[in-house]
Structure 1
Amino acid sequence: MTAIMGSKKKLCVMLLILFLSNIVITANSSKSHSKKKTKFNELRKTEKRYFDWIKRMSSRNHSTNSFVEAKNKFEPCKFIKVNQNPKLGDFTTVKKAINSIPLFNPCRVVISVSPGTYREKIEIPASMAYVTLEGSGAAKTIIRWDDTADRIGPNGAALGTYGSATFAVNAPFFLARNITFKNKSPAPLAGAIGKQAVALRISADMAAFINCKFVGAQDTLYDHKGRHYFKNCHIQGSVDFIFGDGLSLYDSCHLHAKTNNYGALTAQKRESMLDETGFSFVNCKVTGNGALYLGRAWGSFSRVVFAFTYMDKIITPRGWYDWGDKQRHMTVFYGQFKCSGPGANYGGRVSWARELTKQEAQPFVSLSFIDGHEWLTNL
């Protein structure tokens, strides 16, 4: 009798275990099905976003979903004059002039800077919009400093590339004309670490630079984020001297390399197929010395286009570098359209770069690339 009761108990336990196992298997199966369904839905959403992006890039207002609406103000409400002679200006330094502007600035303030070399490190805060900085000519008005990424800052830590900038802009609707921004730190030796030295960092939307000069070596111009327009500018450097994740149009600019080794003109950091960022160079000129890549794929979806641009013989035949990651061959967008000069020969280019058709180049060659018709009027 005892043996029979023991067998019944064992049987009940086994049945209970089987019942619970079925519940677990059913639950796991349901979870697995749910996960597959979620992944499928996410894939459908990603595909839809991609095709929406393609449609948007062909429209006039393609960036309005990624950036704030443009509400620029051009009519000045205040003029400030900077002169190193205190009798001839309101301030003797650019930094003091900027510090005199209200932190939450509501209207266009024009700072006129007289000829001279201004040894200053300057940063415009994010809330100080609508600042115009006008020099007396890029050869006459120079703002310079010499920080590098490995230099120790006030907080006891290294500045980093971001903090090394001579001039940094965090506020929207900034405009600079006829002035030079320079990082005078010497060009680093090949392989040196921590020697990035930014002349200007632009980390704000809707900024324009007209007839300006940017002088440095490694990482000269940090085109960090936002929509930017560079017109008739001179940009000089050695390695990655135009870099960042901005959506920027370089119009009729002179790009000049100074290196005895291999260098790179751009390092664009677009990280997603759906990001609308990229650099476009139109009617530009590339000169200098050394051997220069047109770009290195800092971001997995790096995007750079050169159109109607003269390229000197310093451009390497391959043209582009994948940052040591062959997977980026399938995701980057590197193109040329009707470029000229001994460095523009497309025959030796890497297989994952493109010689664009007129239709492919069209979105990159006008102000519509940066929605300029909304915020660049009256410049």
Structure 2
Amino acid sequence: MDYCCVLVMVIMTLFASCFGVGLSKTNEIYVKNFISWDDMKVDGHKIRLNTSTVYHNQSRVIVVDKNGGGDSITVQEAVNMVPEYNKQRVKIYILPGIYREKVVVPRFKPYISFVGNEGQMANTIISWHDKASDRNSNGGSLGTYRSASVTVGSDYFCATDITFENTVIGAPGEPGRQAVALRIYGDKAMFYKVKIVGGQDTLLDETGSHYFYHSVIQGSVDFISGKSRSLYQECLIQSTAKKIGAIAAHHRDLPDDNTGFSFVSCIITGSGKVYLGRAWGNYSRTIYSNCYFDNVIIPAGWSDWNDPLRHKIRGIPELGNRI
């Protein structure tokens, strides 16, 4: 079995362990240490956040309605309602609309779901417009990481039927135009039927183990970047580059770091000409397996970021792809 097959199998095995079933009991509170399909659904019988009795297989719901018909008119206000060090799933049910705000889910608020109406991904949007060169409250540059429209630092986060958007538009590679739509550094997160839209550095898949399934990711330069161990399965990856861009920029500090991006059965399409990836650091690792590439891919495939040594030691194989 060749290196590509082994690596794909290893990544798939790791994800099985990350999202596998586990149930623990702490002070009579059941903690689900996994993400289930039910965690991304809200049925007609909603258990409100302030309900006193919630059984171990139930979840509390906070309704966000920008028109005032829910528990909150903003997504951030709903996040603020979740207790710190929460031990049960809380679903933030976001009704259709454009929520123009910057949202932070802190590390100490795990087990949160963002749930939109089924089939309403394009109509349920969290949107902001920060970029790296913008100024912070101290007068310094905001930086790429803090440009994110939505930042998720908590574990066991999941989202479905939501669009995460950064509206900054700039020329590919233009200094200070890095503008993140979604930054995720919590562990064991899942994104199902979401859309992540931006230009440069759209998705900052920073650290942790993450699963993106049946989702859409748009951008122009390094629009999927980070140090995480992530699986992108049956996703639509869309380049919006005018001329030249790049899809993935994975970074590893050491050759034995157990991280990498794996794209499995994805469709790669869009505009301009793009590299499949750029080697961000000496040990970048990205896999494309059984993906469809249209004519946007630059024939060379990969960029070594102007460092020939990276070309020799990177791990960015392709397996069973088609054009």
TM-score band by shorter chain is: 0.7 to 0.9
Q: Deviations for 1:194-239, whole angstroms, at most 9, x for unmatched residues? A: 1100000001110000000000000000000000000010000000
1:148 to 109, 113, 131: 131
1:135 aligns with 2:116: yes
Q: CA deviation at 1:62?
A: 9.0
Q: In the alignment, which residue of structure 1 is the partner of 2:180?
A: 198
Alignment of 1:1-379 (within 5 A): 57=10, 60=13, 71-72=33-34, 75-86=57-68, 88-136=69-117, 137-186=120-169, 188-341=170-323
The two structures have a TM-score, normalised by structure 1, of: 0.71
Residue 123 to residue 282, structure 1, CA distance change in 2 (3 Å): same
Q: Deviations for 1:234-256, whole angstroms, at most 9, x for unmatched residues? A: 00000000000110000100000
Please state whether the residue corresponding to 1:228 is helix, strand or coil.
strand
Contact 1:150 / 1:158 at 8 angstroms: preserved in 2?
A: yes
Contact 2:173 / 2:221 at 8 angstroms: preserved in 1?
A: no
For the aligned residues, what is the CA RMSD?
2.2
Q: Deviations for 1:125-146, whole angstroms, at most 9, x for unmatched residues? A: 1110000000122111000000
2:33 alignment partner AA? K
Q: CA deviation at 1:286?
A: 0.6
Matches of 1:254 and 1:235 in 2, distance apart? 6
Contact 2:182 / 2:203 at 8 angstroms: preserved in 1?
A: yes
Residue 82 to residue 230, structure 1, CA distance change in 2 (3 Å): same
Between the two proteins, what is the percent identity of the paired residues? 41
Q: Deviations for 1:300-330, whole angstroms, at most 9, x for unmatched residues? A: 1101111111101010110000011111122
Q: CA deviation at 1:106?
A: 1.3
Contact 2:132 / 2:143 at 8 angstroms: preserved in 1?
A: yes
Matches of 1:191 and 1:240 in 2, distance apart? 9
1:110 alignment partner AA? K
2:166 alignment partner AA? N
Q: Deviations for 1:84-130, whole angstroms, at most 9, x for unmatched residues? A: 121x2111111111101112211100010000000010111111000
1:111 alignment partner AA? I
Matches of 1:191 and 1:264 in 2, distance apart? 10
Q: CA deviation at 1:337?
A: 1.1
Q: CA deviation at 1:150?
A: 0.6
Please state whether the residue corresponding to 2:311 is helix, strand or coil.
helix
The two structures have a TM-score, normalised by structure 2, of: 0.83
Q: CA deviation at 1:61?
A: 5.5
Residue 311 to residue 79, structure 1, CA distance change in 2 (3 Å): same
2:90 alignment partner AA? V
Please state whether the residue corresponding to 1:328 is helix, strand or coil.
helix
1:316 alignment partner AA? I
Q: In the alignment, which residue of structure 2 is the partner of 1:357?
A: none
Q: How many residues align?
A: 283
Q: Deviations for 1:21-60, whole angstroms, at most 9, x for unmatched residues? A: xxxxxxxxxxxxxxxxxxxxxxxxxxxxxxxxx9x94995
Higher strand residue share: 2
Residue 310 to residue 209, structure 1, CA distance change in 2 (3 Å): same
Please state whether the residue corresponding to 2:59 is helix, strand or coil.
strand
Q: Please, which runs of 5 or more residues in structure 2 have no aligned partner?
A: 1-6, 23-31, 40-56
> Which of 1 and 2 has greater Rg?
1
Q: Deviations for 1:275-300, whole angstroms, at most 9, x for unmatched residues? A: 01000011100111111000000021
Higher helix residue share: 1
Contact 1:123 / 1:167 at 8 angstroms: preserved in 2?
A: yes
1:317 alignment partner AA? P
